[in-house]
Chains A and B, each alone.
Chain A
Amino acid sequence: MTDQAIITARGVTRRFGGLVALDDVDLDVPKGIVQAIIGPNGSGKTTLLNALSGASHADAGSIRIDGKEIFRLRPNRIARLGLARTFQNIRVFSNLTVLENVKVAAACNTPMSMLNIMLSNGTQRQREAEIESTSREALEIVSLAARADDRPTQLPYAQQRLLEIARALASKPKVLLLDEPAAGMNMTESMTLLDTIAKLKGKGITILLVEHNVRLVMGISDRVAVLDFGKKIAEGAPSAVQQNPLVIEAYLGRRHRHA
């Protein structure tokens, strides 16, 4: 199992003062699947994502991506090892065009030399051409190619989320972390998003999805892990997790009562 796992997390713990946001979480994500992480508000979903991507390091534990230990590495190193992500609160580069946004990530594994840039020589133009074609491909996948020269702030909200996905794709990741990608989307937009996720899975990219919208998650995911108060309380196929009494109590049950 561990040989096929692309993410292997062991004992991941994160404390904020007295609050234990993540408590000894283990996670194995097999290659090529769509893995969802669900849980009530404040259960530690985004904290786990931040720990995996290096945005906010865990205090203890071990995290391996494709066999390489990434615990406490800087986010840019983790990105170059093949882990890309999107953000719950959209973080596009508003002073760059849509295409340039994607190019930032596409350049992730391209060497850069001051001398080449100043001379604008063949090597430099070749590199820029490669970055450009990678970026246009990524925009093509999320159907944003026509907006390449616009500013991201000119795009509707849902398309800004797709732009973040395109940016993440441009770094050619093995693992893609999506932090509440459907937040603020209407039904049609969510459907487009699901199609995109299916497309990415078809390309062999492992997807780790943090989502609030449980119904959305159940349809698309191969496996679901449930967090509650920083602990993983269940994991398995969506149908099995839905039946799990612990999950119903922690999450679905509570929702039913409120509804």
Chain B
Amino acid sequence: MTVKHWFPLALGVVVALLIPAVTHDNYVIQLLNIAILNAIVVLGLNFATGWVGQINFGQAAFYGLGAYTTGIAAKAGLPWITTPFLSVVIVMAASLVLGLPTLRLRTYYLAMTTIGFGEIVRLIIVHWEPVTGGTSGLRAIPGIGVFGIGPQGQVQHYYLLIAVLAIAALVAARIRQSSLGRAMIATKDSEIAAEQSGVDTTRTKLIAFMIGAVYAGLAGCLYASSIRFISPDSFSGTQAILLMTMLIVGGMGSIPGCIIGAVGLTILPEALRFLGQWYLVLYGLGVIAVIVLAPGGLASLASRLPRWAGAR
């Protein structure tokens, strides 16, 4: 770790911690909370898509599975502490069942299968009304609390979610620095060379897919119990594409990129709200501009920065 590495990190942490001191607007904090949750989901997506190179449109469905598992369990009266475990068990089971038969196949098959999976999950949520509340969703989900202690108000939730995001990013960084992370990237770069180097590429793909699902499941659990209202819209196919866009705009394979992309694209539509109908035009142009001008995503701009600074 050089100055170049830890300075942006430290800056990011300081800014993140100071935001609630600058703004007391609950709406802003709640928006940031959703941005942080999205960042965790995108960090998860990065394992299978950014590192292993598999196109996965099922991430929103895992997010939803986690959220609904927690929502249903908490409303049924189970203590909050059980809900992260329940959510993780459900998404792990779902990702295993989905991943085992499809990950042997190459790229596009997984893309198609995960689109189908997302649609199945959405349809179950919409139609299993007595349990899921159908299109109107679940309201008044009990909040986070362990032995009666839990965050109160948006700001406390914000700090809790920032801490979870930090852990999620740290675990991702550790995986990247391990033989597992290298195996993931090797699988993307050359599957046959990875195999001949002793990497079980099928297993690596499955693990990456499942870790990603666990990230989404945990984020879903926190979504349900911190926003306390969930509906199928938050976990639709559109959301799946949005998560993929966040990953691409932020920078595939880059941990800071995932966070920048998720936070940026969560906030941007709200920031552009004054444009009314026109916001989508600007939003779309912005996304295209990033893809054309910085194909490595926003995170890749950071590595160009020293060169610009040096030139002056």
Contacts and interface: CB of A to CB of B under 8 A. Distances in A.
Interface residues of B, number: 26
B179 A79 contact: no
B196 A75 contact: yes
A91 interface: yes
A interface, over-half SS? helix
Interface in B175-192: 175, 177-180, 182-183, 185-186, 188-190, 192
B171 interface: yes
A167 B182 contact: no
* Chain B CB within 10 Å, residue with most, of A80, A84, A103, A131: A103
Contacts of B185: 93, 95-96, 100
Interface in A38-69: 53-55
Contact of B193 (A91, A110, A117): A91
* Chain B CB within 10 Å, residue with most, of A53, A55, A103, A107: A107
Contact of A105 (B175, B178, B198, B201): B198
Given A76-B199, A117-B174, A167-B197, A107 B190 contact: no
Contacts of A101: 186
B172 to A, nearest CB: 10
Given A94-B189, A96-B185, A117-B178, A107 B198 contact: yes
B232 interface: no
B interface, over-half SS? helix
B268 to A, nearest CB: 28
Contacts, number: 98
* Chain A CB within 10 Å, residue with most, of B188, B189, B193: B193
Contacts of A117: 174-175, 178, 180
B192 A91 contact: yes
Interface of A: 53-55, 74-76, 78-80, 84-85, 87, 91-96, 100-101, 103-105, 107-110, 112, 114, 117-118, 120, 124, 127-128, 131, 167-168, 171
9 contacts: A55-B195, A80-B198, A84-B197, A96-B182, A96-B185, A96-B189, A104-B186, A105-B197, A108-B198
Given A104-B197, A109-B198, 13 more contacts: A55-B192, A76-B195, A76-B200, A79-B198, A84-B197, A87-B192, A91-B192, A96-B182, A103-B179, A104-B194, A107-B182, A114-B180, A127-B179
